[in-house]
Structure 1
Amino acid sequence: MDEQVRHETVFDTGAEHLGRVYAEALLAAAQKSGAADAIVDQFESLVSDVLDQHPTLAAAFASPRVDPEEKQRILDRLFASQVHPTLLHFLKIVARRERLGYLKQIAASAVAIRDERAGRLVAEVRSAVPLSEELRQAVRARLAETMGQEIVLRETVDPQLIGGLVVRIGDTVFDSSVSNRLSRMARKTRQTFARQMLENADRFAVGTAG
């Protein structure tokens, strides 16, 4: 894997580009191990369930003041018994190259590339409150029927999205935020409103992102 992970050039320093380069290297190694899905899922969980919840640890990984060797020891101490050996080896390479501050971008790219290769479409869902399992399944089924492909949801809670649900696939936006209905729906919960918007398919207005 050392040969597959390359330093970015002076012209390719963007976080998104870096994330994709490292993600491609991880997926190549993960496929050889025969556990690509498990490794990507573990990586995504490591970022969202560990680093996002422990900003001090994330800051230590990103800090140039912490020696790369120390970062590798931390990785061993925290994750050696928790993650696939291929993922741990990859994380140590990233640490040696002092790129642990980009784990979020690398993980996001790994998930996106994995889903793209599997023929799955990623739908970014913003809602005023967390989706119930019932609504989550309904959104996924509706989009799968509309797009003709398996759908993977990436959910974000946006409290400022008053009474609505916004779904984005690439440049296409399905928008159920109807501001002129707020007064009539004021006594209903945001989650109920979002569910009603989904059940009435004609509430979705299809447009392109600006």
Structure 2
Amino acid sequence: MMRGASAEAYAAAAAVLPGSGGLGRVGQDLFGTADLLRAEPGLRRVATDVSVPGEAKADLLRSVLDQKVSPEALEVVATAVAQRWTAGRDLADALEQLGVVAMVRSTGDDAGRLEDEVFAVGQLVQANPGLRDALSDPARSRADKSALVEGLLGGRTLPATVALVRQSLSGSHRTVAVALASYQKIAAEVRGEGVATVRVARPLADTDRDRLAAALSRSYGRTVHLNVIVDPDVIGGIRVEIGDDVIDGTVASRLDDAGRKLAG
């Protein structure tokens, strides 16, 4: 989460992000620029140097990126580098986040599907040690990992989902799974939603899922998107995590409570 000057800088850059038209390309270009700033410490230092006038920094990035990125993406980058950032790494992180926003907007009415697909890929990575190791192996090139992602997801998911999973390989987050969880959170925020992680012993029927989503939405005053995880450790009932709140109605939880009361 951006704080202080970086939060204001992010808001300024977000204000010039287009609402429609070519957003997939814009997202890719912002990802590429974020990667460039992380890979080139000298460029990053100049781009975030508070002693250099904002317009001079914007002109520098325009000269570096001219004809390499779309005009819309270039405007976002120029606006971003002209701002003051609390920490040097915040600029690249902000451009990556804005790239995610652009990707989400590029899907239009399929944004909900994008959320579900990103969550599903994250669960797949966590549940499959072989895949997780392949995507985190420092001996494998990023191009090799991207090819693996394309082979796994290409034609089966939205192009924006593939783009987000590829970006999760950049190393900007601790793990691929953490990156995907962050991207899904951004997607929910773009749609004005909250996200609830629901753990159950067996899959929820559609009617139960709809009823739970409606109840949580009423409680939190906004639409809540459900991430349902079937967890064998849940003996029965349901556990819901939304933000810092935990609603634990599982049998295991009730047994633990009963045990503590008896022990007391």
Tell me the amino acid that sits aligned with residue 56 of structure 1.
G
TM superposition shift of 1:119: 2.0
Write the distance in 2 (CA, Å) between the matches of 1:73 and 1:159: 33
Return closer, same or farther for 1:126/1:21 CA change in 2, 3 Å cut-off: farther
- The question of whether the paired residues in 2 share the 8 Å contact of 1:124 and 1:153 is answered with yes
Residue aligning to 1:115: 188
- Does residue 71 (structure 1) correspond to residue 102 (structure 2)? The answer is no
The secondary structure found in structure 1 opposite 2:175 is helix
Write the distance in 1 (CA, Å) between the matches of 2:210 and 2:155: 33
- Does residue 145 (structure 1) correspond to residue 175 (structure 2)? The answer is no
- The question of whether the paired residues in 2 share the 8 Å contact of 1:29 and 1:86 is answered with no
Write the distance in 1 (CA, Å) between the matches of 2:148 and 2:256: 53
Residue aligning to 2:50: none
TM superposition shift of 1:67: 2.8
Write the distance in 2 (CA, Å) between the matches of 1:140 and 1:32: 23
Residue aligning to 2:34: 4
Return closer, same or farther for 1:164/1:105 CA change in 2, 3 Å cut-off: same
Return closer, same or farther for 1:112/1:72 CA change in 2, 3 Å cut-off: closer
Tell me the amino acid that sits aligned with residue 33 of structure 2.
E
TM superposition shift of 1:40: 4.7
Q: How many residues align?
A: 172
- The question of whether the paired residues in 2 share the 8 Å contact of 1:125 and 1:156 is answered with yes
Q: Deviation per CA, 1:112-133, whole angstroms, max 9, x where unpaired?
A: 1121232212222223333232
Q: Deviation per CA, 1:183-205, whole angstroms, max 9, x where unpaired?
A: xxxxxxxxxxxxxxxxxxxxxxx
Q: Deviation per CA, 1:143-196, whole angstroms, max 9, x where unpaired?
A: 2222222111122334444433222322233333444999xxxxxxxxxxxxxx
Residue aligning to 1:155: 228
Residue aligning to 1:47: 122
Q: Which contiguous aligned blocks of 4+ residues in structure 1 show a shift greater than 6 angstroms? A: none
Q: Deviation per CA, 1:24-61, whole angstroms, max 9, x where unpaired?
A: 14414415745582555443344335x45654233222
Higher relative contact order (CA 8 A, sep 6+): 1
Return closer, same or farther for 1:122/1:99 CA change in 2, 3 Å cut-off: closer
TM superposition shift of 1:109: 0.9
- Does residue 59 (structure 1) correspond to residue 133 (structure 2)? The answer is yes
- The question of whether the paired residues in 1 share the 8 Å contact of 2:126 and 2:177 is answered with no
The secondary structure found in structure 2 opposite 1:4 is helix
Unpaired runs of at least 5, structure 1: 183-210
Write the distance in 2 (CA, Å) between the matches of 1:90 and 1:125: 23
TM-score, length of structure 2 as denominator length = 0.49
From the two aligned structures, give the one with the greater helix fraction: 2
Return closer, same or farther for 1:152/1:61 CA change in 2, 3 Å cut-off: same
The secondary structure found in structure 1 opposite 2:192 is coil
Write the distance in 2 (CA, Å) between the matches of 1:90 and 1:133: 28
From the two aligned structures, give the one with the greater strand fraction: 1
Query: C-alpha root-mean-square deviation of aligned residues, in Å?
Result: 3.9
Q: Deviation per CA, 1:96-119, whole angstroms, max 9, x where unpaired?
A: x46698321111111111212322
Quick one: percent identity of the two aligned structures? Answer: 23
Write the distance in 2 (CA, Å) between the matches of 1:114 and 1:129: 27
The secondary structure found in structure 1 opposite 2:33 is coil
Write the distance in 1 (CA, Å) between the matches of 2:256 and 2:146: 55
